[in-house]
Amino acid sequence: MSRVYNFSAGPAVLPEEVLREAADEMLDYKGTGMSVMEMSHRSKAYETIIKEAEADLRELMNIPDNYKVLFLQGGASQQFAMIPMNLMKNKVADYIVTGQWAKKAYQEACIYGKANKIASSEDKTFSYIPDCSDLPVSEDADYVYICENNTIYGTKYKTLPNTKGKPLVSDVSSCFLSEPVDVTKYGVIYGGVQKNIGPAGVVIVIIREDLITEDVLPGTPTMLKYKIHADNDSLYNTPPAYGIYICGKVFKWIKAKGGLAAMKEYNERKAKILYDYLDESRLFKGTVRKEDRSLMNVPFVTGDEELDAKFVKEATAAGFVNLKGHRTVGGMRASIYNAMPIEGVEKLVEFMKEFEKQNEK
Ligand SMILES: *Cc1c(COP(=O)(O)O)cnc(C)c1O
């Protein structure tokens, strides 16, 4: 068996310890004589799994009691519709567009009401986060929406927008559990788990209770109502049971590592190795405004498409995989989520230095 250094943006690297544990429990989960995949979601064993997952997540993120934690399906993209369907009481919402995921969420919201783009960084190919300290937030906006870490472009909000009292809705898919958060600053925090937490198929929604109401847009399907899932503790129908089980293991892994403060410290050390090199390299350069750099997704280019392709090819052969940039932006991108060990980044930088030496003009 040989594992590569997987820099995929998602689905992405998971902690090896978690994968080993899951493998050990594959055929017989704790004496039940079956895999978690084969288990009723109404069984005692499964009830313990989902309850513990929620409790561990609450502990990690210090989630207050007036927030619900929902384990749902449909990926982050389904939330693009579910959010306006459930929250657009006045049929008005403000969107800050800092990349493709925020743009898609904005476009989806336009189907259901008046979505206003109150700020954007599209003018410079989403390479920065706009100043959000005094935006023209709509008087009657039901919420202000952001994508907190822009997976494709590698930017991250370092300060949250001033929403002027409106609930903040944040897509944290690619920075989930990468650092401590103050949940009380948000109305909704949500993310697909396949970037930093678990296997694709689960989306976690952390939502303030007063935002969960029966008053949703007419025609909203039952499955897309937060209330139905909240009232049934994420067991209204069969949840993505195996995925939630893996998420639970990752929560325990993070707890054992020291929680979110320790994750942040580790992630900062990892990212610094790569960014420091990008800043001194004469071949590679980062594409993001320095103060807005993400700890999770690091895009970079050589400025020469052929050389980019050569780099990706040689890196792959050397065991550094999935470094090709998003199909819409080109270049390279190293996603260095929680589960990427620091050695992976160190070795990647060594490899990049060697490549630079051999390809200097
Ligand atoms: C990957 C990603 C999405 C889309 O997730 P799906 O689960 O594929 O729908 C949305 N937002 C962000 C920030 C992402 O990184």
Residues in the chain with pLDDT values less than 50: none
Q: What is the pLDDT of residue 355?
A: 98
Catalytic residue, chosen from 56, 101, 166, 225, is 101
Pocket of ligand 1 (CB under 6 A): 10, 75-77, 101, 147, 151, 171, 173-174, 192, 195
Q: What is the pLDDT of residue 163?
A: 98
Q: Are 138 and 90 in contact (CB under 8 A)?
A: no
Q: What is the pLDDT of residue 330?
A: 87
Q: What is the pLDDT of residue 142?
A: 98
Q: What is the pLDDT of residue 109?
A: 98
Residue 80's Cα: distance from chain center in Å? 14
Catalytic residue flag (residue 134): no
* Type and span of the H or E element at 244: helix 241-256
For β-strands 168-171 and 144-147, DSSP reports them as parallel
Distance 273 CA to ligand 1 centre (A): 26
Dump the DSSP string for 70-122.
Answer: EEE-SHHHHHHHHHHHHH-SSSEEEEEE-SHHHHHHHHHHHHHSEEEEEEE-G
> In angstroms, rounded to a whole number, what is the distance separating the alpha carbons of residues 289 and 293?
7
Catalytic residue flag (residue 44): no
Q: What is the pLDDT of residue 327?
A: 80
Model confidence pLDDT, tens digit, residues 157-186: 999 999 999 999 999 999 999 999 999 999
Q: What is the pLDDT of residue 360?
A: 82
